[in-house]
Amino acid sequence: MSDGPRVPYLSILGTLIVALMLTMMPLPEAARPFRPDWLALVLVFWVMMLPRGISVGAAWMAGVVLDVAQGTPLGQHALALCVIAAVTARFHLQMRVFPVSQMTAAVLALLSLYQFLLFWINGVAGVTAPAVAYWGPLITGTILWPILSVVLSGIRYRTPAGA
């Protein structure tokens, strides 16, 4: 007998790895400031849909991997991802029933919090970046959210339980 719904751990891990690869993929210099925060978007989706399947600990681990891959101060992305994962887990029941426009606005707020935390940590560390480095990912991530949520929902529902 099963105690509850099974979580598609391989799908979650696979989409997080793809998001990490998209984050590290080389882009032309002009497009680099507008790269969406793929890992944050995918993490928000999975925490919102399966809060017991992926937790703040998984967000921390993904953030540390991202910090090491990008050469940023260790713990910077980990902290920011943990905060948005915790906020998403807290309000996941409300956010899941939002229409697409409200869910996109909620994701905009989460991405804004994520970018603010990165900005704050960079300020404390003395790292300067142009404003477009913070606003660009926020805008592109918000625009891509409806498409990404449809794609990830398709992956979620096509994956056999427990896979």
17: in domain: yes
Cα–chain center distance at 89:
13
Percent of the chain at pLDDT exceeding 70: 94
160: in domain: no
| CB-based contact 41:145 (threshold 8 Å) | yes
- pLDDT category at 52 given cuts 50, 70, 90 is confident
Percent of the chain at pLDDT exceeding 90: 83
158: in domain: no
CA distance 93 to 75: 28
Q: How many domains does the chain have?
A: 1
What pLDDT does residue 129 have? 87
CA distance 73 to 67: 7
1: in domain: no
Helix (H) or strand (E) holding 1: none
- pLDDT category at 1 given cuts 50, 70, 90 is very low
- pLDDT category at 4 given cuts 50, 70, 90 is low
Containing structural domain, residue 64: 9-23+33-152
